[in-house]
Amino acid sequence: MSTLPLVDLLGYWLGIFLTLSILSFLYKDNPFYKLAEHAFIGISIGYIIIQQYYNTLRPKLVGELGMGHWLALIPLALVLMMIVKGLSQRFGWVGRYPLAFVVAFYAGLQINGVTSADIGKQVERAMADPVDYKTDVNTADRGELFSLGLPPAVVDGIIKQRAQKPFTSLGQIADMPDLSAANRADVRGSRGPIVGLDSHASIEPGRVNAFGTFSQILLFLGLIAALIYFYFSVEHKGVIGKVSRFGVWILMIGFGASFGYTVMGRLALMIGRIQEIRGDTMPSAVADQVHGPWVALASIIIIVGGIVAWELLRSDAPPAGPAQGGDDGDDSDDADANSNGEPVGSAS
Amino acid sequence: MADSSNEKLHWSVRLQRFDRRWVFLAMAVAILVPFILPCNVPYKASPMVKSLYYTIEELEPGDEVFVSLDYDPASMPELQPFLEALMLQLKRKNIKMVFATTWYSAPPLVQRDISELVERPIEPTGAYGGLPDRAYVKNKDFVWLGFREGREAVISAMGNDLWATFDNRADDGTPLSQIPMMQGYKQLKDFDLVIVVGAGYPGVKEYVQQVQARYNLRMVGACTAVSTTEYTPYYQAGQLLGLAGGMAGSAEYEMLVGRKATAAQGNDVLNAGYLVVILAIIFGNIIYFVSRKRKGGAVR
Query: Sorting pLDDT into bands at 50, 70 and 90, what band is B248?
Result: very high
Query: Mind telling me how many Å the CA of B125 is from chain A's nearest CA?
Result: 9
Taking contacts as CB-CB distances below 8 angstroms, the residues of chain B near A278 are: 35
List, for residues A34-75, the tens digit of each pLDDT value: 999 999 999 999 988 988 888 888 888 999 999 999 999 999
* Dihedral angle of Cα A52, A53, A54, A58, to the nearest 10 degrees: 130
Considering only CB atoms, A268 lies closest to which of B77, B104, B149, namely B77
- A135-207 maps to which CATH number? 1.10.150
Residue B300 counted as domain residue: no
Q: Which of A308, A277, A276, A282 is nearest to A294 (CA)?
A: A277
B167 and B289: one domain?
Answer: no
Q: Indicate whether B165 belongs to any domain.
A: yes
**What is the side-by-side order of every strand in the sheet holding B219-223?**
B142-147, B96-101, B64-70, B193-198, B219-223, B243-245
Cβ distance B208 to A117 less than 8 Å, yes or no, reads: yes
pLDDT at residue A338 tops 50: no
The HSE-up count of residue B157 (CA atoms within 13 Å, CB side) is 15
Domains of chain A by residue range = 6-68+282-317, 135-207, 227-269
**Min Cα separation B184/chain A (Å):** 26
Q: How confident is the model at residue A341 (pLDDT cuts 50, 70, 90)?
A: very low
Range(s) of the domain holding residue B6: 2-37+266-294
Of B104, B152, B265, the CB nearest to A55: B104
The share of chain B scoring above pLDDT 90, in percent, equals: 68
Task: Please give the pLDDT value at position A284.
Answer: 84
- B137-169 pLDDT, tens digit per residue, is 999 999 999 998 888 999 999 999 999 999 999
Residue B295 in this model has a pLDDT that exceeds 90 = no
Residues B151 and B242 in one domain: yes
Q: Cis peptide leading into A166, omega within 30 of 0?
A: no
- Measured in angstroms, the CA of A294 and the nearest CA of chain B are apart by 16
Q: What is the pLDDT of residue A321?
A: 56
Band of the pLDDT at A142, cuts 50, 70, 90?
Answer: confident
Q: What are residue B196's phi and psi, to 5 degrees?
A: -115, 120
Considering chain A, what percentage of its residues have pLDDT values greater than 90?
51
Which residues does chain B have within 8 Å of residue A112's beta carbon, measured at their own beta carbons? 214
Residues B97 and B212 in one domain: yes
Cβ-contact B197, B221 below 8 angstroms: yes
Among A125-134, B20-29, B79-88, which range has the highest average pLDDT?
Answer: B79-88
Chain A residues near residue B107 by CB distance under 8 angstroms: 51, 55
Same domain, B8 and B118: no
Most confident of A146-160, A321-335, B4-18, B170-184: B170-184
Is the pLDDT score of B204 beyond 80?
A: yes
Contact B79, B226 (CB under 8 A): no
Is residue A337 left, alpha or beta, with left meaning phi > 0 and alpha meaning psi from -120 to 50? Answer: beta
Instruction: Report d(CA B89, CA A152) in Å as an integer.
Output: 15
> What value does the mean pLDDT of chain B take?
89
Count Cβ–Cβ pairs < 8 Å, chain A vs chain B: 162
ipTM higher than the 0.95 cut: no
Alpha helices of B10-116 — where are they, by DSSP H? 11-16, 21-36, 47-57, 76-92, 107-113
pLDDT band at B2 (very low <50, low <70, confident <90, very high): very low
Question: What residue type is A100 in one-letter code?
Answer: A
Segment B54-81 shows an average pLDDT of: 94
Show the beta-strand stretches assigned E in B5-152. Answer: 64-70, 96-101, 142-147
Tell me, yes or no, whether B16 and B114 share the same domain. no
Residue A333's pLDDT is 43
What mean pLDDT comes out for the span A305-333? Answer: 68
User: How far off is chain A from B18, nearest CA to CA, in Å?
Assistant: 6
Supply the CATH number for residue B126's domain: 3.40.50
Sign of the dihedral through C-alpha A268, A271, A276, A280: negative
Interchain CB distance below 8 Å, B229 and A254: yes
Q: What is the pLDDT of residue B201?
A: 92
Tell me which chain A residues have a C-beta less than 8 angstroms from the C-beta of B152: 106, 109-110, 113
Residue A343 has pLDDT above 60, yes or no: no
**Which of A151-160, A292-301, B215-224 is least confident?**
A151-160
Which of B206, B237, B246 lies at the smallest CB-CB distance from A125? B237
Average pLDDT over residues A173-177: 88
Arithmetic mean of pLDDT, A202-217 = 90
Q: CB of A59 within 8 A of CB of B165?
A: no
Q: List CB contacts (< 8 A) between B248 and chain A.
A: 264
pLDDT at A331 exceeding the cut of 60: no
Q: Which of B196, B194, B198, B195 is nearest to B71 (CA)?
A: B198
| Residue of B77, B209, B277 with shortest CB distance to A263 | B277
